[in-house]
Amino acid sequence: MDAVRPSPPAGDPSWCDAATSGLGVYVHVPFCSHRCGYCDFAAFSDLDSLMEAYVDRVVRELRARVHEPAASVFVGGGTPSRLGADLLGQLLAAVPVADGAEVTVEMNPESASPEVIEAAVGAGANRLSFGVQSVTPAVLTFLERRHDDADVVAAVEHARAAGNDNINLDLIYGVPGESEQDWARTLDFTLALEPEHLSCYALTVEAATPLGRAVAAGEACAPDDDTAAQRLAETCERLAGAGYERYEVSNWARTRPCVHNLRYWSGGAYAGCGNGAHSYSPSTRTRTWNHRHPRTYVDSDDPVAGREELTAEQMRDETIMLGLRRSAGIVWPDPSTVPAGLVDNGLATYTGGRLALTDAGLAVGGAVTLEVVLAAAETAGKAVSRW
């Protein structure tokens, strides 16, 4: 496989254009050694006996649904590295991949053995993403993570030794009990590893998770919004000073943003294979999703559990909501219809026919985005176009 192409600055709108071309393929791996209390994904900790049958079913789905080389691939979960070297290699080998495509595999540090990493890289993975979250033991305990600093260092070293030059590290901030010093140490530790990409997320509490139920019952503390905002401001400052460009609300890159995730935010086509995976075809305005439980998925003749056809209004609103997450923003040809005060109050910029949120705007992104959605509706959608 050819190397990933040289990259323009992460915020360059051309990345958005590139991400909408061709087909992206997402492959879901639901297996985990332990399901963390905050996790709302279609992940399971008691189904390892299903691994071989599951991989076989995903391979059959890939052959039935993916009829062109993928422009981007993302193997996520769950914990894909939980599959082990042989099954993970089989899964990756089944995906048709275009030359120069970005191929990402998510891994937990404690299961990212040299054998698993070498199998992934040998099967075409050229981007590895490790779930670090924090280096503070109390925070890791709250999140129910099972790795330590040494596991993270070893995973990154193994990835480098295998020839991988595109590493992402996932972090979570705003965890109850985390101090400002704790988060600073996490950033110090992470930056010392010199990853090419960082994803930093505020802890969110989903009602259907064990953490959500514990918070509702008063048995656990909810994250504090003001503290999370402070952590995010600190993160923006530290990462900018270290040479990382913020190209999406929760993502920073030195040179290469995640092309596959940009596909989601830019309205590109993608096929999702595996339990709970979603697919989207912009040409037909159709979204589908697979059966959520792995057993149902494995046993079903048709993996698709449901589908919907989006209206033009829904597509317009999604264009805005997803596009404003990116630093490149959205195409907005008529400056007279930009919601009043966004630019003057430093919440957005308007340059070259594109409307984009500043860091201040992203900090209150929900409210600002709603203003833009309403402005588009008031002008009957004439103010925006597909980017």
Distance CA 230, CA 335 (A): 32
| Residue 378 pLDDT class (50, 70, 90 cuts) | confident
For 40, residues 6+ apart whose C-beta sits below 8 A from its C-beta are 206, 208, 209
Determine the pLDDT at residue 18.
63
CA distance 128 to 74: 10
pLDDT at 16 over 90: no
Q: d(Cα 11, Cα 229) in Å, to the nearest integer?
A: 22
Q: Give the separation between CA 202 and CA 247, rounded to whole angstroms.
A: 17
Please list the helix, strand and coil fractions of the chain in percent, rounded to the nearest 5, in that order.
40, 20, 40
Tell me which long-range contacts 289-295 makes (C-beta under 8 A, separation of at least 24): 292/42, 293/42, 294/30, 294/42, 294/44, 294/47, 294/50, 294/54, 295/47, 295/50
Determine what percent of the chain is predicted with pLDDT higher than 90. 90
Share of the chain above pLDDT 70, in %: 93
- The answer to whether the CB of 306 falls within 8 A of the CB of 288 is yes
What pLDDT was estimated at residue 145?
A: 95
Determine if the pTM surpasses 0.85.
yes
Q: At 242, is the pLDDT very low, low, confident or very high (cuts 50, 70, 90)?
A: very high
Residues 6 or more apart in contact with residue 209 via CB below 8 angstroms? 37, 38, 39, 40
State yes or no: pLDDT of 4 exceeds 50. Answer: no
Query: For the chain, which domains are there?
Result: 13-265 (3.20.20.70), 312-387 (no CATH)
Q: 11 pLDDT band (50/70/90 cuts)?
A: low
Given a cut of 70, is residue 3 above it in pLDDT?
no
Is residue 269 within 8 A of residue 280, CB to CB? The reply is yes
If you average pLDDT over residues 212-237, what whole number do you get? 95
| Span 313-325, pLDDT tens digits | 999 999 999 999 9
Judged against a pLDDT cut of 80, whether residue 249 lies above it is answered with yes
What pLDDT was estimated at residue 283? 93
Average of per-residue pLDDT across 331-349: 93
Give me the residues paired with residue 63 across strands. none
DSSP string, 3-25: PPPP---TT-HHHHHHHTSSEEE
pLDDT at 381: 46
The tokens describing 132, both together, are 């670090």
**pLDDT recorded at residue 5:** 36
Residue 274 pLDDT > 50: yes
pLDDT tens by residue, 60-118: 999 999 999 999 999 999 999 999 999 999 999 999 999 999 999 999 999 999 999 99
- Looking at residue 379, what is its pLDDT? 78
- For 278-327, how does the pLDDT look when each residue is reduced to its tens digit (9 = 90+)? 999 999 999 999 999 999 999 999 999 999 999 999 999 999 999 999 99
Rg of the chain, C-alpha, whole Å: 21
Please tell me the predicted confidence (pLDDT) of residue 6: 36
**What pLDDT is stored for residue 380 in this prediction?**
55
**Chain-wide mean pLDDT for the chain?**
92
